[in-house]
Amino acid sequence: MRTLRIATGLSALMFLLAHLPTSALARDYPAAPVKFITQLAAGSGTDPAMRIVIDELSKRWGQQAVLVNQPGAGGAVAARVVATAPPDGSTLFMAIASTFFALPELQPNLPFNVNDFVSVGFVGEVPLAIAVTPALPIKSLPELVTYSKEQSGGMNFAVPVRGGLTHLAIELWRSRAGPNLTNIYYPGSAQAMSDVISGRVPAIIDGLAGPIVKGQLNVLAITLKSRVAAYPDTPTLAETAPGFAATGWFAVVAPRGTPDAVVKQINEDLQAVLADNSVKERFAALNVLTRPMAPEALEAFIRSEQQLWRPIVKRISSEQQ
């Protein structure tokens, strides 16, 4: 009988110990500095918005949280760092949209599966804009489509980053609205913008930021389903291509195996930061929109984005072979 009681007691103790680490880790999280890995180069794209969120999380946690820029191989370098990191919440991935639909198709031999990441929380999204050089006498998207069809060989169109979301958005628009475009690819936005401002290339698609919002280019449309409050007179692309929507979004994901309690804690802290008025104001200045998402909602959102964009990525990939 005494042996049975001892065995029963040990079993209960083992059960408690097995379940203690997750709850304790969540309660004390984070107990050490946290690294957020991103594939973006410092200062580019949504990097500034990422830093706002991470700085605020650092204050909230009382632990240092840092953004580590690891560009390269279309995001594969950054993704691999996180995929192979300990699943304890100390290393997280501030991933951009193309990680989940372009990377697997363009690099099919990745040593990890992007679907293995654990969804944590949505951070923000930046609408794209179609804009033209002021030297071009075009005032609307239908005029642009008509003009493109009048050009022998198609209208040159600046596309920052081949295979990126801007490239995919243009291909989706081409399939729905039929503009006759010749894509001119750039390694990033800076040179592409410079060429469009100078008139070397007549039009561009890029994030709603920089020269586009400073009035150096004429904005014809924004890639949201509804108009942006800050630009009430600028039409959406959906107004001429029904149902069209494309944003450059970014979210936090974690290595597979990260405890649910830790994921929930990070999500709650992230949503608290994003609800702060000062963060909202700074996001608005960067034209970054946000919306609260539980981990399960983010998971569903990523799946829907994959279904939308992967066919476009596959077509682009096959045309380049």
pLDDT per residue over 198-236, tens digit each?
Answer: 999 999 999 887 778 788 999 999 999 899 888 899 999
Residue 12: pLDDT band (50, 70, 90) is: very low
Instruction: Tell me the mean pLDDT in the region 101-124.
Output: 89
Question: Which tens digits make up the pLDDT trace of 124-178?
Answer: 999 999 999 998 989 999 999 999 999 999 999 999 878 788 999 999 999 888 8
Identify the pLDDT of residue 260: 97
CA dihedral 275, 278, 284, 290 (to 10 degrees): -20
Residue 121 in this model has a pLDDT that exceeds 80? yes
Token duo for residue 29? 């999280």
Identify the pLDDT of residue 7: 44
Residue 19 in this model has a pLDDT that exceeds 70? no
- The percentage of residues in the chain with a pLDDT greater than 70, rounded to a whole number, is 91
C-alpha distance across the termini of the chain, in Å: 74
Residue 320 in this model has a pLDDT that exceeds 70? no
Name 206's Cβ contacts closer than 8 Å, sequence gap at least 6: 128, 129, 131, 158, 160, 166, 189, 192, 193, 212
Residue 3: pLDDT band (50, 70, 90) is: very low
Token duo for residue 152? 């022998």
C-beta separation of 287 from 128 below 8 A: no
Gap between the Cα atoms of 24 and 1, Å rounded: 34
Domains recognised in the chain with CATH numbers: 33-125+248-320 (3.40.190.150), 127-239 (3.40.190.10)
Gap between the Cα atoms of 41 and 123, Å rounded: 18
Instruction: Tell me the mean pLDDT in the region 284-298.
Output: 93
Question: Which tens digits make up the pLDDT trace of 43-84?
Answer: 877 899 999 999 999 999 999 999 999 988 888 999 999 999
Question: Which tens digits make up the pLDDT trace of 227-274?
Answer: 988 889 999 999 988 888 899 999 999 999 999 999 999 999 999 999
Residue 14 in this model has a pLDDT that exceeds 50? no
Name 214's Cβ contacts closer than 8 Å, sequence gap at least 6: none
What's the gap between Cα 217 and its chain centre?
A: 24
The residue behind tokens 């990525």 is: 313
Gap between the Cα atoms of 157 and 192, Å rounded: 10
Beta-sheet pairing, 247-254 with 91-96: antiparallel
Long-range contacts of 143-150 (CB under 8 A, 24+ apart): 144/179, 144/203, 144/220, 145/177, 145/178, 145/179, 145/240, 148/179, 148/180, 148/181, 149/178, 149/179, 149/180
- Please state the pTM of the whole predicted model: 0.83
Identify the pLDDT of residue 321: 60
SS3 at position 81: helix
Residue 26: pLDDT band (50, 70, 90) is: low
